[in-house]
Chain A
Amino acid sequence: MKFSTKLTLSITTLIFLLFSLGGHLMIQQSFDYAREEAQRQFAKEHISQRLLLENHLFGKQLDDQKLTAQDVVQAAKSTNHFRGLALYDQQLIPLYSSLVMEDPDVLKKLIKNERAIGNQIDTAYHDKYLMTTFTDYKVVDLDGKQTMFIYTRLTALHEPLYMVNTYDVSYVYEERKRQYIHFLYIDALILILAAISVLLLSRLMTSPLKKLTKVSEEIANGAYDRRIRLDTPDEIGLVAQSFDKMADAVESKIHELERMVQARDDFVSNFSHELKTPMTTMMGYADLLRSRENERELQIKAADYIYKETKRLSELGLKLMDLMSLSEEYIQKECVPVTKMIGDAGEHVEFAHVFVDRILIQSVLHNLKQNAEQAEASEIHVSGKISNQGYIVTVWDNGKGIPEHEIERIKEPFYQIDPSRTSGRRGSGLGLALCEKILKAHGAELEISSQVGKGTSVSFKLECCE
């Protein structure tokens, strides 16, 4: 289930439940109040009727000293005008009743209740008014009409009499029912409104999550440059930001890997190219020699081609092995005077000791000089200078120079600026790559600056020692 749906369902349900509970409590309270009000009012009426009845009976008592059941009924008849009234003797036999409906069970319960509470009646109060003011009531559903039975005990004859009044209180219940129905409509309306507003709200709040999902899917499908770019200061915003950061890291890693794969592919493709061309030559000339009798001139030429290409291939193989195997563990650094590598100290070469693998650095210098020769330089200088960070060696020539856009690439294995292979002199294309690797093992780097037509200067820095 979608998060927004979950949110909508749960919040809507919660709102509905709370609202319903609140409404129910309100209605119930107002109902309780209305019923109490009714009870108070009817209790007053009951008591006033009782007083009336008692007055009547007292009057009779004063007249002929003796009250009969007949008198009681008479008195009841004459005092009861509007309400249902019933009088019962001690055995709960009705002496008089104008009730629409009898319910002796209610009376029994009320009496029982009085006895239970009766002991608590304030006797002082009883003495003072010479009567019990204890009234009790009970509401009973009679044929769908809520009827309030109000009851007191009076001592008119020599024995107690039970007086019961009934009042129709169904209007209180009707009102409650009406309120409930009314409330149900409101509740339904609230439910709908809550559902809609929460749905919209949750959609609004989960929209960044949707975007997050979309973007992460796109990234998973290879669009590594996609980002969420959400700048809200909440938790989702934070998630989005860290997601973007992660995507940045992934993207750069992927690019790095792609570059590495590309470099490896280039290397393999260049290497195979470097192999295939001399192979074709060697195979072709060897075939020529072995298949037929040729003129001596051609024989010599063919053998020469085969020899040269074989030699070049074997050099290439050796350099390639150097390039592959060279790493910091295999180099043996020692403290050497620079003059052992560069030549005599003098105007261009300051004397110092450097901490290097002498043979490897000599090979670097040899390669750089060879490159300068290939650039058709007439002058090649090697200079050495002590600087505060180390000893800087520079190989300078006045050859044809390197075009600016090529400088980046010349350190790549097999890369050659002028692929014109017509000239007999042709390197392996590995020289600078090898130099770079040797210097890297010395913690240094080749720095190349060049101007087309003017010359090139290549320098690197070595570590000084005592």
Chain B
Amino acid sequence: MLNILVVEDNHSILELIELNLARRGYNCDTASDGQQAANLIETNHYDLILLDIMLPEIDGYELLAYIEPLHIPVIFITAKGSLRDRVRGLHLGADDYIVKPFEMEELVARVEAVLRRAGKGNTLLTLEDVEIDLIARTVKKQGKMINLTMKEFDLLVTLAQNKNIVLYRPYLFEKIWGEDWEDDTRTIDLHVQRLRKKMDWSDKIKTIYRLGYKLEVES
């Protein structure tokens, strides 16, 4: 399991990030000021650090200079979206930055991208006898390749990443088709049916009446 340190002085955001990363299977530690973060970095090993710039005690820039020699990838979280701030962060050795307000999806995507670049990312999702390669975008069931369309693959990944959780239809539609939900259940239902068939998962992908779908697997 990969360890991520989240340094953010806003409690609600901190909690939110922790929640989202934990759901993706990361082990999260949190710090709400620079001093606390520095102490944690000293005692624990981290694969990635999410760092807010405006922090009490020791600010993000200072902390970055402290992290640099440890070669831990860093993503800046900042409310200052100005070019100067971003460039300064990147110059100091941040691997990426994310500007408030941001969506958790984006944050998670960036975390995964940075981890992959560092050679630490999860590129393989395994669910019982199914293996999903996120980079090659291939699916194998019992070692046998299964042909999926783009949308079907995205649907599978989303369900797999949120296994055993009910996902609502509008969310799924928005995430996979990238369009606003317009009360059109047919498209998504059709894709789910095809996916069930191809994966032979008619019992595993559950329809939750009026709400959405859930992938039920052993965790």
Contact = CB atoms under 8 A, between A and B. Distances in A.
A421 B102 contact: no
A373 interface: no
B166 A290 contact: no
Contacts of B56: 418-420
Contact of A269 (B33, B80, B166): B80
A422 B100 contact: no
A279 B12 contact: no
Interface in A251-293: 269, 272-273, 276-277, 279-281, 283-285, 287-288, 290-293
B168 A291 contact: yes
Contact of B54 (A293, A419, A422): A419
Contacts of A284: 13, 16, 20, 103-104
Interface residues of B, number: 31
What does DSSP make chain A's interface, helix, strand, loop or mixed? helix
Contacts of B95: none
Nearest to A422: B32
Contacts, number: 80
A291 B167 CA distance: 6
A309 interface: yes
A88 interface: no
A290 B170 contact: yes
A288 B10 contact: no
Interface string A292-318: 110000100000010001000000000
Given A281-B12, A293-B211, A273 B103 contact: no
B217 to A, nearest CB: 16
Contact of B10 (A269, A277, A283, A292): A277
Classify chain A: how many residues form its interface, as a range. 20 to 34
B63 to A, nearest CB: 15
A12 to B, nearest CB: 59
Given A280-B101, A292-B166, A273 B12 contact: no
B162 A292 contact: yes
B19 interface: yes
Contacts of B201: none
Contacts of A292: 162, 165-168, 171, 212
Contacts of B210: none
Nearest to A282: B101
Given A418-B56, A420-B56, A291 B171 contact: yes
A292 B99 CA distance: 25
Contacts of A291: 167-168, 171
Contacts of B103: 283-284, 287
Contacts of B167: 291-292
B80 A273 contact: yes
A280 B168 contact: no
A107 B100 CA distance: 121
A410 to B, nearest CB: 16
Contact of B13 (A269, A280, A288): A280
B11 A422 contact: yes
Contact of B9 (A269, A288, A422, A424): A422
A277 B171 contact: no
A280 B11 contact: no
A249 B196 CA distance: 79
Nearest to A277: B10
B65 interface: no
Contact of A420 (B9, B101, B211): B9
Given A276-B79, A291-B171, A421 B166 contact: no
A420 B168 contact: no
Residue from B32, B79, B162 whose CB has the most chain A CB atoms within 10 Å: B79
Given A288-B19, A292-B162, A293-B165, A277 B11 contact: no
A277 B17 CA distance: 13
B9 A421 contact: yes
A273 B212 CA distance: 36
Contact of A305 (B12, B54, B101, B170): B12
Interface in B136-190: 162, 165-168, 170-171
A364 B97 CA distance: 40
Contact of A277 (B19, B20, B79): B79
B165 A272 contact: no
A204 B171 CA distance: 83
In the A-B complex, the 8 residue pairs with the closest CB atoms: A293-B166, A279-B101, A291-B171, A276-B100, A284-B16, A280-B101, A281-B12, A273-B79
Interface of A: 269, 272-273, 276-277, 279-281, 283-285, 287-288, 290-293, 298, 305, 309, 418-422, 424
Interface of B: 9-13, 16, 19-20, 32-33, 54, 56, 79-80, 99-105, 162, 165-168, 170-171, 208, 211-212
Given A276-B79, A419-B56, 19 more contacts: A273-B80, A277-B10, A277-B100, A279-B101, A280-B10, A280-B101, A283-B103, A284-B13, A288-B16, A288-B20, A291-B167, A293-B168, A309-B12, A419-B54, A420-B9, A420-B33, A420-B56, A421-B11, A422-B10
24 contacts: A273-B54, A273-B79, A276-B100, A277-B79, A277-B101, A279-B100, A280-B13, A280-B16, A280-B101, A281-B12, A284-B20, A290-B168, A290-B171, A291-B171, A292-B166, A292-B171, A293-B165, A305-B12, A309-B12, A419-B9, A419-B56, A420-B9, A420-B32, A420-B33
